[in-house]
Chain A
């Protein structure tokens, strides 16, 4: 699929503009324009046409109205995107009506499909858009070059990959089975008040869990935003002369601080575990001690009968025959047995329990308590050592931070202060997030227990037993669906990894430095160095990182099944020197198999870049703005 034409009427700076994209040997199209003349507007126009949204931020502080300021106040905003597929042409047209300068309702999307000369208006225009580029993955097709740079700072594309894995059917099955599961619980409540009560408690806990999960998402979002901003500030500060050393020391101290804080927390947990596990024997120690002494005294004083059953002794007396050796009892023996039976007020069964069970068991407890003291002291010592080390690190950290204040540059100071504030609030957020995670874990455990209680109650009631069977089937099915989803996501990840590797090593100018790309489970990317075998992403240049993200993006295109155009606004701005040329050559290469539209600033369109795109067949256009800055136009060069 490729874009043939864009027509824009009254959309922001574009009063009346038509841009054609004829196909040639290299399907690459270059548009050049200064900042503020309408580059981002062009990108947003396309996205607005397809999805009704303008996600890219504009460089102006004041957002101009969507209706072009020199259009009449009763005009329409219209953007048309003409797309060609293998066997048809599709026109996506979005219109927003304005009366007296105010929008009359939402913008309407229409789609017209022409096949074999026949044009039909699509009954489901949104569906036609999803056949071109589905909304949730449009970020991989139409984006600002900053995304290539930002990928590493805020990678949250798991959701998008989820959509690409086409497991929406499984999601539907899951939702519906869960609903039925709940329905069966509700139905069962009619038959028993106990079940009704349990169901109510379960519902409450599930609601609590839902709230906690919403909180969790908020925390994740906030933390991600803070981290992204902190990373940006880190980079800004790192680039400043003389601050480099301070930054490096700061980072290393911060790492140590985090490490010690984790170790201290771990020790605390160890200590608490030790306390709880040993508490019973400690509290009962004196009792244990007394009983051991008592048993040992009884053994010493012969107060415990031999482990011969007293019933056997009584039988021996009755039969006048020894039950062990079979001999007839003489008078002495009879007297001895009678005396034993009188003296032992403890039965041989009880004697067995005392000597063979309780005595050795209680001695184990005694030993455990002595061990506890030793173990506790060891933990406390480690704790103390770690705390001292942490104190020392904190002092060094504070000293290092003091040195920042000596910098006169107001901008640096502001950035440094902003970073400190963000880090403090991030620490608080992390703590709160930790609490939230613990609460979720505890709630999940309680829900599991409650479900088991409910199942048991339902199983125990004849009328509700049938609902239990149905619930069990739903649970088994849900488990299989969950497992299947995970495995499909994993397969998708492996496919993306493979394609990313193919793309990167096909396109890179550095053929011998890296050995492979790893795509982790959270879709973070690693660039493995050939010599060290380690992740070299942090020492990679901006250009290498951008190439990595581009390779990944192209990999996503392949597995998505949507071979649609790639449109990037300012793709070279974050790359310098020779790498601009390298990147331009890469885009040229990719355009052999895919339509590429690049929107560049004059600065990006340097002489080296011009040289790469010199071929006359490559269409170039200039985006310009009129003198009173009310209208932009796009002219072929």
Chain B
């Protein structure tokens, strides 16, 4: 399965939760770019962004 297909499936499985879909999309793109050693900080930022905007 193609990475783009996988990304599409992730978004579809979020159903109506657009915030969650955006979050997963950003995570996927982040992982696609390659191994990051300092992922914790980067993940923190993304989680912070989407856990606040999810209201």
Contact, chains A and B (beta carbon distance below 8 A): yes
Interface size on A, residues (CB 8 A): 28
CB pair A166–B28 under 8 Å, yes or no, is no
Q: Mark B27-55, 1 if CB is under 8 A from A, else 0.
A: 11001100000011001100110111010
CB pair A480–B10 under 8 Å, yes or no, is yes
CB pair A473–B47 under 8 Å, yes or no, is yes
Contact status of A473 and B43, CB under 8 A, knowing A480-B14, A484-B9, A492-B1: no
A469: B residues at CB distance < 8 A: 51-52, 54
Contact status of A170 and B47, CB under 8 A, knowing A480-B20, A492-B1: no
Q: Which of A43-51, A174-182, A377-385, A586-594 contacts B (4 or more CB under 8 A)?
A: A174-182
B48 → chain A, closest Cβ, in Å?
A: 7
Q: How far is the CA of A476 from the CA of B10 in the complex (A)?
A: 12
Please name the residue on chain A nearest to B30 by beta carbon. Answer: A173
CB pair B20–A169 under 8 Å, yes or no, is no
Q: How far is the CA of A166 from the CA of B9 in the complex (A)?
A: 14
Interface of chain A: mostly helix, strand, loop or mixed: helix
Please name the residue on chain B nearest to A183 by beta carbon. Answer: B40
Interface centre among B17, B31, B44 (most CB of A within 10 A): B31
A484: B residues at CB distance < 8 A: 6, 9-10, 13
Q: Mark A443-458, 1 if CB is under 8 A from B, else 0.
A: 0000000000000000
B1: A residues at CB distance < 8 A: 165-167, 488, 491-492
A168 → chain B, closest Cβ, in Å?
A: 9
In the complex, whether A472 has a CB less than 8 A from a CB of chain B is: yes
CB pair A480–B39 under 8 Å, yes or no, is no
CB pair B6–A166 under 8 Å, yes or no, is yes
Please name the residue on chain B nearest to A489 by beta carbon. Answer: B1
CB pair B3–A477 under 8 Å, yes or no, is no
Q: How far is the CA of A201 from the CA of B10 in the complex (A)?
A: 33
Contact status of A173 and B51, CB under 8 A, knowing A473-B20, A484-B6: no
Please name the residue on chain A nearest to B43 by beta carbon. Answer: A180
Interchain Cβ contacts under 8 Å between A and B, 19 examples: A166-B3, A166-B6, A169-B3, A169-B6, A169-B32, A173-B24, A173-B28, A179-B40, A180-B43, A470-B47, A473-B20, A476-B17, A477-B20, A477-B23, A477-B24, A480-B13, A480-B20, A481-B24, A488-B9
Nearest 4 pairs of A and B residues by beta carbon: A473-B51, A469-B51, A470-B51, A480-B13
Chain B residues with a Cβ under 8 A of chain A:
1-3, 6, 9-10, 13-14, 17, 20, 23-24, 27-28, 31-32, 39-40, 43-44, 47-48, 50-52, 54
